[in-house]
Structure 1
Amino acid sequence: MSTTDQTSAEAPTCPVHNFNHYAELDFGEKLARYDSLRDEAPIIRNEFANGHYIVTRYEDIIKAYQNAKVFSNTAVTVFNPNPTFRWIPQMLDGDEHKQWRKQLNPLFSPKHVERLEDKVRERAVSLIKEIATKGRCDFMQDFALQYPSFIFLELMGMPFEDLDKFLHWEDEILHVSGDAEETARRRGVATVELTEYFRVLIDERRKEPQDDLISKAIEFEIDGKPATQEDLESFCILMFMAGLDTVTATLGTTFLHLSTHQEDRQAIVDDPDLIPSAIEEMLRAFAIVIPSRKVLEDVEIAGCPVKAGEMVCLPLNLATRDEAAFDDAKEVQLDRSPNNHIAFGAGPHRCLGSHLARRELRIALEEWHRLIPNYRLAADSHPTESGGQLGPNGNIFLEWDV
């Protein structure tokens, strides 16, 4: 029995592990690890970070997401069960959360997102045409980071020429790994710098409003009063992290799969109408987000007592790859139907930007396979992943004949 991965013989219903799910590993190792945890038990005690529980099966995960009164969003990372900050609206509960979502939902509705169709497609085509002439690309750097970032910056009214700065802050906050003290320091520095950036931008929008999310959020009212400066800054930080990271990671997992499974790539080339179904299957099979919740009252999960104040980790992939919910759950089936996955979460905190994300993914797959239909993973690729969600950090090199 190793010291880094111990299983307790005294608590067979709740094995004990020490699993650093922020560590940098070869891509796929974490997904395999989560699959093994699900196979082992419905709930795991993980001694990593401050100590927390990992719920591993679909039914229990769904129940937790739908019970926001017990499983609170006031803390969303196992590193920090008592945060002094609030990412808005993610880290809000109850009526305050409802008020923010009520005002934000129309801005991310299918009808509103549809207005972006031409601009999103234009950006995708421009990037892919430039890439296509080269016969090879660093997929994450050349496309997966650039494409959704442009769309997010457009929505927020942020200058695209500052992209490198934004991506640096994103990497420092979400993907840095290593010594815990140094990691915390770097995250802190990046968060302070990002907050100051948004403070200046919010002040500019107060003076000269534009047609962007920041200007609209300034007009929001919570409990009959204008949203505070601090809350607006917290809102911008959450939008920044979600907008610059989740679609990028999903594009990485999707193209890594297609470039190594030529039958699936060819199926999309032969029948582009398969793309919406393929996207849902990629979202399900490689659900990237690993949310956590704080337990507000003593509760029992899968027979294991969990005390108030404990953190509970609810990785979406543990639900979406559960054989009890999906036949052959670990296999990718591009035409899977039905496919009622929860890759965007569940309950009141379900992902606000799901409609935008689906549109970005659909357009990317349509235009890539129209302009670069025959591609493969280069032999020198070595994708890894680290940080608070699944998804490759880089080293995905694609090749094709020009």
Structure 2
Amino acid sequence: MDRVPQVEFNPMAGLRPAGASFTVFAELREQYDWFRSTVGQGFWVLTRYERILEALNDPERFSSSAITVLDPEPAYRWIPEMLDPPEHTAWRRLLRPHFTPASAAAMEERIREHCRELVDGLAGKGGCDFVADFATRFPTVVFLEMMGLPTERLATFLEWEDTILHRPYEPGRATGRRKALAAVVGCFRELIADRRAEPRDDLVSAALAWRMDGEPVAEDDLLSLCLLLFLAGLDTVTAQLAYMFWHLAGHPADRDRLASDPAAVPTAVEEFLRAHAITVTGRKVTRDGEFHGCPMKAGDMVLLPLNSATRDPAAFPEPERVDLGRHPNRHLAFGAGPHRCLGAHLARLELRIAVEEWHRRIPAYEPDPDRPALEHAAQVLGLDTLPLRWPA
């Protein structure tokens, strides 16, 4: 493998300054169209928009049966994320009615009311840690209500989610992660039992009525589905919000534009999604063969960093610049192919409402210079902290 570029690159590198991950991937993309990381058992990394898009659209060659490049033989199966067609297609068909534009729009009034309550409670304080005080609480409560989970247990749920997704993965030293996974599964097992006895208007109750090939969905599969929705629902919108407000706090002209012109928010949200694509997912190669010169073999893992695609200068002019009016904007922040994010409509709604309602009460704010924002590098990029301040 003399001709193969090899780099000691760890996508689970832990805490670093905010935005550092985007710089790292940009530097790697400038040097390589693809390379092999020597970390763990080794894995490939694709860096270009067109190649990442092609891989996402080819589940036959790039399987989702393993999505963490440092864990090529997972003992778990998150449904439907770790399924390939046609099994994946059957699950998406069941889930789709709950994640349509209409179903998201039906939730707008309640989401906006919840957002206003949070912002109103912060406006007079003159500052906050945006991640802890807003970004984790706003979308998480929406998700818990949708699933039927008790919102009063928010702190416990967030602790489990952080342990599962954000702690550096170390093979052979995953006791805390396993315990957190077991705790989440136990919580959903109780919830499923409760909803069997007394159905309510939530997603778990609806799932109990689903049929797969004419039979009720197996409880273990329901638990796997609930676990995936839990991890996605408690992390992705939170991470996206943190990067959006990190940018706005440091760019007063962009902040003032959105505060004065709410009509600009939807297009701006798409640009934030492009500039700060948070997902760093993996796939497992199913057959030997070169992929645009990359000598892959069956069983190899491949990393597909979406931000490397959405900041590729071959696909986007001036990709490092955040242009709130960028059009067209063919970003891949929600992925592509059969696994494109099912919750994209709800996520867009939550992001738009957050920007509108925050700037209604807190139009001027800035980073706290005494407390730097910190970023975790993992499968989902995000900020651990984002201290902001404003005139009380």
TM range (shorter): over 0.9
Structure 1 residue corresponding to 2:73, chosen from 76, 82, 90:
82
Matched, 1:68 2:41: no
Asked if the contact 1:287/1:317 (under 8 Å) is kept, the reply is yes
Aligned length: 390
Task: Answer with 49-58 or 345-354: which moved more.
Answer: 49-58
What SS class does the counterpart of residue 196 from structure 2 fall into? Answer: helix
Q: Map of 1:43-58 to 2, 5 A cutoff?
A: 43-58=34-49
Partner of 1:391: 382
Looking at structure 2, the residues matched to 220 and 84 of structure 1 have their Cα atoms a distance apart, in angstroms, of 25
What SS class does the counterpart of residue 204 from structure 1 fall into? Answer: helix
Q: Map of 1:158-197 to 2, 5 A cutoff?
A: 158-177=149-168, 181-182=172-173, 184-197=174-187
Q: Map of 1:355-394 to 2, 5 A cutoff?
A: 355-386=345-376, 387-394=378-385
Q: Map of 1:34-45 to 2, 5 A cutoff?
A: 34-45=25-36
Looking at structure 2, the residues matched to 249 and 171 of structure 1 have their Cα atoms a distance apart, in angstroms, of 12
Partner of 1:5: none
Matched, 1:273 2:255: no
Partner of 1:204: 194
Q: Map of 1:182-331 to 2, 5 A cutoff?
A: 182=173, 184-331=174-321
Looking at structure 1, the residues matched to 225 and 312 of structure 2 have their Cα atoms a distance apart, in angstroms, of 33
What SS class does the counterpart of residue 53 from structure 1 fall into? Answer: strand
Asked if the contact 1:108/1:356 (under 8 Å) is kept, the reply is yes
1:388 is displaced (CA, Å) by 2.0
Asked if the contact 1:377/1:398 (under 8 Å) is kept, the reply is yes
Residue 102 to residue 179, structure 1, CA distance change in 2 (3 Å): closer
Q: Which residue identity does 1:74 align to in structure 2?
A: S
What SS class does the counterpart of residue 92 from structure 1 fall into? Answer: coil
Unaligned runs of 5+ in 1: 1-7
Q: Which residue identity does 2:303 align to in structure 1?
A: C
1:224 is displaced (CA, Å) by 2.1
1:90 is displaced (CA, Å) by 0.5
What SS class does the counterpart of residue 314 from structure 1 fall into? Answer: strand
1:177 is displaced (CA, Å) by 2.5
TM-score by length of 2: 0.97
Partner of 2:113: 122
Partner of 1:151: 142
1:180 is displaced (CA, Å) by 5.0
Residue 49 to residue 27, structure 1, CA distance change in 2 (3 Å): farther
What SS class does the counterpart of residue 313 from structure 1 fall into? Answer: strand
1:28 is displaced (CA, Å) by 1.6
Asked if the contact 1:23/1:178 (under 8 Å) is kept, the reply is no
Unaligned runs of 5+ in 2: none
1:299 is displaced (CA, Å) by 2.9
TM-score by length of 1: 0.95
